[in-house]
Amino acid sequence: HLPFMLFAGPCAMESREHALEVASAIKEITTELGIGFVYKTSFDKANRTSLSSARGVGLDDALPVFAEIRETLGVPVLTDIHERAQCKPVAEVVDVLQIPAFLCRQTDLLLAAAETGRVVKIKKGQFLAPWDMKNVVKKVTDAGNPNVLITERGASFGYNTLVTDFRGVPTMARDTGAPIIFDATHSVQQPGGQGGTSGGQREMVPTLARAAVAVGVAGIFAETHPDPDNAPSDGPNMIPLHLLKQFLTELKEIDALTKKRQNLHFFAE
Amino acid sequence: HLPFMLFAGPCAMESREHALEVASAIKEITTELGIGFVYKTSFDKANRTSLSSARGVGLDDALPVFAEIRETLGVPVLTDIHERAQCKPVAEVVDVLQIPAFLCRQTDLLLAAAETGRVVKIKKGQFLAPWDMKNVVKKVTDAGNPNVLITERGASFGYNTLVTDFRGVPTMARDTGAPIIFDATHSVQQPGGQGGTSGGQREMVPTLARAAVAVGVAGIFAETHPDPDNAPSDGPNMIPLHLLKQFLTELKEIDALTKKRQNLHFFAE
Amino acid sequence: HLPFMLFAGPCAMESREHALEVASAIKEITTELGIGFVYKTSFDKANRTSLSSARGVGLDDALPVFAEIRETLGVPVLTDIHERAQCKPVAEVVDVLQIPAFLCRQTDLLLAAAETGRVVKIKKGQFLAPWDMKNVVKKVTDAGNPNVLITERGASFGYNTLVTDFRGVPTMARDTGAPIIFDATHSVQQPGGQGGTSGGQREMVPTLARAAVAVGVAGIFAETHPDPDNAPSDGPNMIPLHLLKQFLTELKEIDALTKKRQNLHFFAE
Amino acid sequence: HLPFMLFAGPCAMESREHALEVASAIKEITTELGIGFVYKTSFDKANRTSLSSARGVGLDDALPVFAEIRETLGVPVLTDIHERAQCKPVAEVVDVLQIPAFLCRQTDLLLAAAETGRVVKIKKGQFLAPWDMKNVVKKVTDAGNPNVLITERGASFGYNTLVTDFRGVPTMARDTGAPIIFDATHSVQQPGGQGGTSGGQREMVPTLARAAVAVGVAGIFAETHPDPDNAPSDGPNMIPLHLLKQFLTELKEIDALTKKRQNLHFFAE
């Protein structure tokens, strides 16, 4: 068992300087702690609650920054794609293509991502059961790309609320063989909960992340920002960057216990 | 108040002959009953549960058939679109562009549909609250297209189950001013409930449709097929074509009662 | 098919005068409309959100009032019971014993109610599926009392929210043979939604009641009060008494349509 | 911080010998591991799915056995009570009175339990939000009994399914100050899921228990049995007794990490 990996970064790319600064800061922390790190940021927020919300710098401006982060910092990069046509150009400069949760059933997008040969990280739709992900993953692996990661990010629970069912972690791992990543910051989102934008419960991130690591996830996804309250999107649920080290230190301890077990999830038959 | 409209047809286009035959049969029934009719069928099932499921005839083969149905039968046509690039060519031959429920938050798709000037029928995501649709509709109307229809098709309720909250009908009507259409056949879907495909409860369609009409919807959407059990998709929830007339007759009676009320949904203050 | 019945009254008994006044007013309306009427009121609110909430006049003071309403007005009476020992004395003066939703799985309470020989009206727990009521009803009928009514009053949907799944009406009717009553006012409750008390959406009562009648319920349960905003409990969801006649008039029209059908709920096989 | 406590035993008392044997076996394990232990068993299963299900030995036969376990083994005992009148006699021989989840809003039962002065352990109703427990606990503490434990055992999630929202643990701890116990075996119940009885996912118990301990619960509740598949109730979710030691060993390691933190649940402000 490898120790857990971290996928982290600001929700949306704000500028080249901001991206490099945050990537560099996270790299320093994860290197010190001995945790693998993939930088995540979005070039476009394609499904904001409202039309007037900020969307990001766009594909053309983001690609050179992704390339620069990989080259200068030696950090692998993840971003999310929303349409088939984005897969190929994005795959040239990033290591992991992420399929957004709302789009996880869009066959053509999954196939286009699969064809790039890059790692495809699929967020489980809020409307799917854990056992539904088997068919989703199969769309990518049947297309010849075995490099799939699944992300758990909560299920719809009544209105404007998500709940994380941690039984999904061993279920999806068993059904698909894919590593399961827990998205600790979107799982505390309150979609649409603030009228024109989504709310969030930032204070609950450590609670759910601790649970996820104890349950045996392969990695943690967490959006982080030097100043979440002034971030263009997802501020209410992002982790303040200055707390990241303490957050990861606690998780790493639990992870070490978890990973030494042979048969973590189920009672021996 | 106009009497309720019907949006109906087979889930997926199977062939030109099949499409014309079913459109013609439904037109005969709705003409006799004095109900407005829009023919619905999909050229591509873009989000099937499994890769091995049939997807449909495709855009190129479907467009001439849509055109022929409009011309020879004088019936308006609706189909669903999945990517921005499809909006323009599809809009040339159909009257209503339908945004699938999973895609109802994809801003670019909404804007591309809006720009065609056609009626945009948005299916409410299974992961949204009724009051979340206000921002969704606003994306289209702010783009200069006031012709929006909202479709209620159930909300996620635990795993592999949808529930229809009929309070959403007056809520969305009040919040947006848009006519509310009830999708009587997808609301009884059991998503992913049969492993590789979705299940459904066809026998519950009349129950939910009666409720919807009594609550005051502007129209009913219902997939229908001469032989649902052998249909390429959505067989478990489609209405057998030979029962459609009886189904609509009952609904029309309720609708007549409903529409004569001034203040249907709320108690007068 | 008989026309639908009404179970109505103020949530809690306030005084003899208040009880007689409201019972008399409802009787006048239902007599004029030709609708059967059972007076409902509680002598004790045994499961209020908070200890400081009002609980009612109590068993000893309520029983003579129940008896007086039956005798002077000729109106059958329903009240809810919470412990085995209450069943026998209450059954001496009321016609229908109601099992509260939270208590619908308490075997001893169901048996004690069954043994009185009175009609037993069981509210479906917010935590049960429609098909779970089969075993609940069987506890009463196996005890030799065939007179069971089931009440639908919503299912838990996330936090502090109930949703009514109208598929439950035909499902429970088919599974048990018992008449299904729709509780139109508790179905719009927002349990715990106001901190120390439960909230409600009074304005949604007509919407859900119309749906229920169109779906074919045998009766409607609705709490009503001359001045809901000053009632000791359930004010946010009770119907103002002066609107009751209009409310029932609309429902009776739908009911007349519904009841003339042979095979209402399901498509003929 | 004290290490976590274990509340464990067979779901229902089967016989004096069986009770003593299991209590003794668990005591041996917990003593070796240095974990506090309270023996739990029910004298009556008062809310079984079906009338034909076994209910247990009854109050009169159980009380002497409870007394014997306390005296001969020196182990504190917990049992659940269902009606006011049971509180006093039961309190004479047990240390902890447990309020069943369905009954957690029954004011009189809470008060009768409070008045005994014993510890009152309240199971959170499947139909309540975490923040709703504040008023429930207050009913007991306002009656002069500060010794309250809260048990998390899952929330209704669609039909026949429970989900555990671990955000509830810090929320209820903050709101009430009461220790939070996680019921690891009822949380994997599938209520009503097998028709006449409830199903369960025994294999998921370790997953959810690990999460709970990582999140910081004060104790774990787990039903256990030497032969779950032949137990009179709750077999599908009880832990086989021979696996209990391994189960607790893993949890104790996580607990040690969790308890050394000052500010476990929330980010420092």
Per-residue pLDDT tens digits for B244-260: 999 999 999 999 999 88
CA distances from A265 to A217, D239, D247 (A): 11, 14, 11
Dist. CA B24–CA B37, nearest whole Å = 11
Q: What is the pLDDT of residues B137-146, one digit of tens each?
A: 999 999 999 9
Which residues from chain A sit within 8 angstroms of residue B159, using beta carbons? 129, 155
Which residues from chain C sit within 8 angstroms of residue A158, using beta carbons? 157-159, 161, 163
Residue C34, by phi and psi: left (phi above 0), alpha (psi -120 to 50) or beta?
Answer: left
On the question of pLDDT at D175 being above 70, the answer is yes
Which residues on neighbouring strands pair with residue D99, listed in sequence order?
D122
Q: What is the pLDDT of residues D23-47, one digit of tens each?
A: 999 999 999 999 999 999 999 888 8
Stated pTM of the model: 0.95
D82 close to C105: Cβ distance less than 8 angstroms: no
**If pLDDT is split at 50, 70 and 90, which confidence band does C211 have?**
very high
Dist. CA A30–CA A27, nearest whole Å = 5
Which residues on neighbouring strands pair with residue C162, listed in sequence order?
C156
**If pLDDT is split at 50, 70 and 90, which confidence band does B47 have?**
confident
Biggest alpha carbon–alpha carbon distance for chain A: 55
Select the residue of B214, B243, B266 nearest C211 (Cβ to Cβ).
B214
Q: Please give the average per-residue pLDDT across A208-236, as a whole number.
A: 93
- Structure tokens, B166: 């009929």
On the question of pLDDT at B212 being above 90, the answer is yes
Q: Nearest CA to CA, how far is D36 from chain C (Å)?
A: 32
On the question of pLDDT at B240 being above 60, the answer is yes
B181 close to B7: Cβ distance less than 8 angstroms: yes
Q: Please give the average per-residue pLDDT across A31-37, as a whole number.
A: 97
Q: For residue C194, what pLDDT is reported?
A: 67
Using the beta-carbon criterion (under 8 Å), do C159 and D135 form an inter-chain contact?
Answer: no
C215–chain B Cβ distance below 8 A for any pair = yes
Which residues, in sequence order, are CB contacts of C245 under 8 Å at separation 6+?
Answer: C29, C32, C33
Neighbours of chain C (3+ CB pairs under 8 A): A, B, D
Q: Please give the average per-residue pLDDT across C233-237, as a whole number.
A: 86
Which residues, in sequence order, are CB contacts of B194 under 8 Å at separation 6+?
Answer: B236
Q: Please give the average per-residue pLDDT across A24-28, as a whole number.
A: 98
**Whether complex ipTM tops 0.90:** yes
C5: buried, middle or exposed (CB in 10 Å: 19+, 13-18, 0-12)? Answer: buried
Q: For residue B193, what pLDDT is reported?
A: 66
Q: Please give the average per-residue pLDDT across A136-152, as a whole number.
A: 98
Q: Please give the average per-residue pLDDT across D174-199, as a whole number.
A: 88
Q: Which residue has the higher pLDDT, B34 or D55?
A: B34
- Structure tokens, D247: 């189960």
Using the beta-carbon criterion (under 8 Å), do D55 and C107 form an inter-chain contact?
Answer: yes
Q: Please give the average per-residue pLDDT across D190-205, as a whole number.
A: 82
Q: What is the pLDDT of residues A146-202, one digit of tens each?
A: 999 999 999 999 999 999 999 999 999 999 999 999 999 999 998 886 677 778 888
Q: What is the pLDDT of residues D205-223, one digit of tens each?
A: 999 999 999 999 999 999 9
Q: Identify each DSSP E strand in chain D by its residue range.
A: 5-9, 37-40, 77-80, 96-99, 119-123, 148-152, 155-156, 162-163, 180-183, 189-190, 199-200, 219-225, 239-240
Average pLDDT, chain B: 93
On the question of pLDDT at B51 being above 90, the answer is no
Q: Which residue has the higher pLDDT, A265 or C206?
A: C206
Q: Give A205-251 as a 3 state SS string.
A: HHHHHHHHHHHCCCEEEEEEECCHHHCCCCHHHCEEHHHHHHHHHHH
CA distances from A209 to A3, A126, A152, A245, A255 (A): 15, 18, 11, 14, 11
On the question of pLDDT at C268 being above 50, the answer is no
Using the beta-carbon criterion (under 8 Å), do D161 and B158 form an inter-chain contact?
Answer: yes
**If pLDDT is split at 50, 70 and 90, which confidence band does A56 have?**
confident
C87 close to C115: Cβ distance less than 8 angstroms: yes
Q: What SS3 state is found at D140?
A: helix
Q: Nearest CA to CA, how far is B121 from chain D (Å)?
A: 28
